[in-house]
Amino acid sequence: MDEILLLKALILGVVEGLTEFLPISSTGHLIIVGDLLGYTDAQSKVFKIVIQLAAILAVCWFYRVRLLEVVIGLWQPGRERRFVGNILIAFLPALVLGVLFHHAIKTYLFNPLTVAAALIGGGLVILYLEHRPQTPRFTTVDDISWREAFKVGLAQTLAMFPGVSRAGATIMGGLVFGLSRRAATELSFFLAIPTMLAATVYDVYQARAMLVFDDVSVFAVGFIAAFITAMLTVKTLLRYVSNHNFIVFAWYRIGFGLLVLITAYTGLVNWS
């Protein structure tokens, strides 16, 4: 048993759980932290897919009561059927563009320096949006129409660029299109389920040849760490957005992105 490898798995699992649903880019952090830990081989790529699944399951468990209501109410017209329709409509742009550009993005954009630039750019956008006057027209996810859902879905496609942040794109998009902070955050959580599940299934299929039994212990450590941390993050974020804006995340993105660029420029870290 490689204890160092298990420690890396634990660290990356915690990073995934902490960052997946915050507007700071989980993919970007996994790329940067993985590079810093020297965990960038073929196994690491499959590992990062597996721990994303843990974050999805954490959201499903957190919202298990609502999701059960959706399943029960889906068979008759009403709130639950409209809710599912809106989620599917919001998911559609990412599905189409993901199929078209998935390979190119994975090949050319998954590196620490492009992530750092996207972190800084996204942070500046959040600062700009947070200083605009906002008057929410929709206080819950159930209030929105298919039009708002589709617009937020278009915003989500920006997160195909690693470092932008899927959560950041959907939450900020929701605020721009009239959702309250809590409604935008919850929509981001619910939209993560089909979006991340589809991406995970596709990535696992693509990497199926690299799945080996010897990696089970490493994957299990990262999976459990990501699940527990994601559960705590979702619960904490919902409380946070009730009384705070997202400016602190904007400054964090800018500071972290600048740190990566400075260490690369000065040679302190040899980013791959």
- Tens-digit pLDDT profile for residues 132-188: 888 899 999 999 999 999 999 999 999 888 889 999 999 999 999 999 999 999 999
**What local confidence, expressed as pLDDT, does residue 1 receive?**
53
| pLDDT exceeds cutoff 90 at 105 | no
Mark residue 163 as left, alpha or beta (left: phi above 0; alpha: psi -120 to 50; beta: remaining): left
Beta strands (DSSP E) in 68-156 are none
The helix, strand and coil proportions of the chain, stated in percent and rounded to the nearest 5, come to: 80, 0, 20
The answer, as to whether pTM is greater than 0.85, is yes
CA distance 253 to 126: 10
CA distance 266 to 256: 15
Residue scoring higher pLDDT (60 or 205): 60
Q: Are 133 and 76 in contact (CB under 8 A)?
A: no
